[in-house]
């Protein structure tokens, strides 16, 4: 087992980096736990409190990484590595050695600790996987990111942003303490807004166009790395002027494996995915749904509501599919649908990694789905909220069974109500708790939301006017008393003319969604 012991595990760059290392080692099959004196790291990774018993119980089979701790003697471990993220706060050359080797973050960092003459290696921090965006409209929206303290010189960063004419200026950090009161609070104005600590880094960087950083001392500026990853301009200073080593996360982990003498890394495999869909008389879209999801799902389960067309025969003609029939008194009943979707996926616990819950016209799309699934699993994401789009075909389109629906219909309309949490980790989520319509959920368990506009939910509802009118007519005829009494799906009850106008309005608004 790998044990990471740190003397500081509250919010901060080192905690983020060590938590990410813990998660990635675990994802690569190396059982790793991070121990620290605070609670924050336990929300980020497989973490526990650091106690004397933890140190005393280290065994000869353990590999131990120590950060920001001075131990009286070398632990009784297979290997002990000091992980150094600091400069003057932890001068390696002045500390009595209790380790076998040291890991520094970069060459400049190593040179600072030149008094240390023992074994070392250089391994940069793992980079967080984030989406790079082009955001010229946010050019003058500034962010100040990091702890609000004297070393970070937060007041200078705010001053630089104000001097450059930025507004608004968002400060991401905890506004508290003597330094905040004396140096930062006086700069508060209508242009400066305190956002607190942000758990969702992607959303944070998506909201700003540039970042100012004025630290007195930096070893490896995570914020600079994150700016590069997200397409955010970075305005640093001499302390942050460290050359970034351009290596992949896989190469970083390979260095750790070699340093810790763990052996080789097995190739990452695609997570197993099971998909579940509610169906009633969907012979038109089913061939497209099954072909599409078969490209990345190991099993597709169709919950069939006694279809009277060829839906069941189509499903059975595909491998790795299963039909689960259910009754609803020949009605379209949202109460039954939500019960199904909240429970049926539990059969995949311990068998699949992710499950998808949806309707037969809902396609969860990513341009490289296999890589997305692998990366998402490695990052520990457990619930996914895609960007939803109504896909809009020309009115005269007749979709044939042999067509590729993604080729025939590439235009759509961004529709936030379709940002449905369709996919989640069936082993980490205890209950998904969909609300009616399954457009939202209140999951319980190990909930780690992933929101990215690279993952899309394509809703193929408007696939030709005749198909649209026919399906709406059938749903109106089958609409249950439960739905009518509660106002669910009552939009199916409008006139044909209103449906035609609805289709036309979407045609007028559609833009390109797929290349």
The DSSP-derived string for 81-143 is EEE---STTS-GGGS---SSEEEESSHHHHHHTTT--S-EEE-PPPPP-------GGGTT-EE
Question: Locate tokens 């099954």: which residue?
Answer: 290
Count the helices and strands in the chain (H runs, E runs): 16, 24
Q: What is the pLDDT of residue 268?
A: 61
Which tokens belong to 425?
A: 């980790």
Whole-angstrom distance, CA of residue 270 vs CA of residue 354: 11
Which pLDDT score, from 0 to 100, does residue 245 have? 62
What sections of 197-329 are H helices per DSSP? 201-206, 222-230, 249-259, 286-293, 311-316
Residues near 409 by beta carbon (within 8 Å), at least 6 away in sequence: 391, 392, 393, 397, 460, 463
Low-confidence ranges of the chain (pLDDT < 50): none
Q: Which fold has domain 273-512?
A: Spore Coat Polysaccharide Biosynthesis Protein SpsA; Chain A (3.90.550)
List, by residue range, all CATH 3.40.50.2000 domains of the chain: 136-240
Q: What share of the chain is helix, strand, coil (3-state, %, to 5)?
A: 35, 25, 45
Domain(s) of CATH 3.90.550: residues in the chain? 273-512
> Taking a C-beta distance cutoff of 8 angstroms, is the pair 344, 316 a contact?
no
pLDDT at 244: 59
User: Residue 116 has what pLDDT?
Assistant: 96
Q: How many Cβ atoms are within 10 Å of 421's Cβ, its own excluded? A: 23
Residue 264 pLDDT: 58
CA angle 227, 18, 373 (to 5 degrees): 70
How distant is the alpha carbon of residue 37 from its chain centre? 27
Please check whether residue 447 is in contact with residue 429, taking contact to mean a CB–CB distance below 8 angstroms.
yes
pLDDT reported for residue 379: 67
Termini Cα distance of the chain = 46
- The Cα 268–Cα 335 span in angstroms is 40
SS3 277: strand
With beta carbons less than 8 A apart as the criterion, state whether 273 and 254 touch. no
Q: Please check whether residue 210 is in contact with residue 143, taking contact to mean a CB–CB distance below 8 angstroms.
A: yes
Q: What is the CATH number of domain 136-240?
A: 3.40.50.2000
Half-sphere exposure of 496 (CA within 13 A, CB side): 8
CA distances to 111, 119, 121, 376, 510 from 114, in Å: 5, 12, 13, 39, 61
CATH, domain 2-122, list 1.20.5, 1.20.1630, 3.40.50, 3.30.70: 3.40.50
Reference 362, options 465, 451, 293, 452; nearest CA is 293
246's CB contacts (< 8 A; 6+ apart) are none
448-489 residue pLDDT tens = 888 677 899 999 999 999 999 999 999 999 999 998 998 888
CB 353 within 8 A of CB 331: no
Instruction: Output the pLDDT for position 265.
Output: 52
* pLDDT value at residue 21: 96
The whole model's pTM is what? Answer: 0.56
């Amino acid at each position: 087992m790998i044990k990471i012991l740190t003397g500081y595990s509250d919010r901060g760059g080192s905690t983020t980096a060590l938590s990410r290392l813990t998660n990635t080692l675990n994802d690569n099959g190396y059982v790793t736990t991070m121990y620290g004196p605070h609670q924050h790291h336990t929300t980020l990774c497989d973490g526990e409190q650091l106690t004397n018993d933890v140190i005393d119980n280290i065994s000869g089979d353990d590999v131990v990484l120590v950060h920001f701790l001075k131990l009286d003697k070398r632990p009784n471990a297979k290997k002990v590595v000091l992980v150094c993220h600091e400069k003057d706060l932890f001068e390696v050359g002045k500390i009595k050695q209790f380790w076998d080797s040291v890991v520094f973050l970069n060459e400049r960092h190593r040179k600072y600790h030149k008094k240390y003459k023992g074994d070392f290696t250089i391994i940069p921090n793992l980079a967080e996987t984030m989406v790079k965006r082009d955001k010229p409209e946010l050019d003058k929206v500034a962010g100040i990111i990091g702890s609000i303290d004297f070393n970070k010189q937060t007041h200078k960063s705010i001053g630089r942003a104000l001097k450059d004419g930025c507004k608004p200026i968002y400060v991401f950090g905890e506004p508290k303490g003597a330094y905040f009161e004396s140096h930062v609070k006086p700069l508060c104005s209508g242009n400066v807004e305190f956002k607190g600590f942000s758990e969702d880094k992607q959303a944070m960087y998506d909201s700003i166009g540039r970042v100012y950083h004025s630290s007195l001392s930096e070893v490896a500026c995570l914020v600079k790395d994150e700016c590069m990853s997200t397409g955010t301009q970075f305005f640093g200073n001499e302390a942050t002027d460290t050359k970034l080593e351009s290596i992949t996360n896989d190469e970083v982990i390979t260095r750790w494996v070699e340093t810790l003498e763990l052996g080789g890394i097995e190739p990452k495999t695609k997570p197993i995915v099971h998909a579940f869909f509610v169906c009633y008389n969907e012979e038109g879209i089913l061939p497209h749904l099954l072909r599409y999801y078969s490209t990345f799902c190991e099993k597709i389960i169709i919950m069939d509501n006694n279809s009277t067309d060829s839906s069941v025969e189509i499903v059975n003609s595909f491998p790795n599919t299963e039909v689960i029939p259910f009754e609803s008194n020949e009605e379209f009943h949202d109460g039954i649908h939500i019960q199904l979707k909240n429970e049926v996926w539990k059969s995949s616990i311990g068998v699949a990694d992710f499950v998808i819950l949806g309707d037969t016209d809902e396609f969860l799309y990513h341009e490289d789905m296999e890589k997305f699934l692998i990366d998402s699993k490695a990052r520990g994401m457990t619930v996914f909220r895609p960007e939803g789009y109504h896909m809009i075909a020309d009115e005269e389109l007749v979709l044939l069974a042999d067509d590729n629906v993604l080729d025939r219909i590439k235009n759509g309309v961004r529709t936030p109500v379709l940002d449905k949490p369709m996919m989640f980790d069936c082993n980490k989520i205890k209950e998904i708790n969909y609300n009616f319509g399954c457009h939202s959920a209140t999951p319980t368990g190990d909930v780690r939301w992933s929101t990215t506009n690279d993952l899309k939910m394509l809703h193929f509802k408007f696939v030709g006017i005749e198909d649209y009118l026919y399906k709406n007519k059938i749903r109106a005829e089958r609409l249950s008393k439960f739905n009518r009494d509660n106002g669910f799906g009552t939009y199916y009850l409008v006139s044909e003319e209103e449906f035609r106008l609805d289709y036309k309005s979407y045609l007028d608004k559609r833009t390109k969604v797929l290349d």
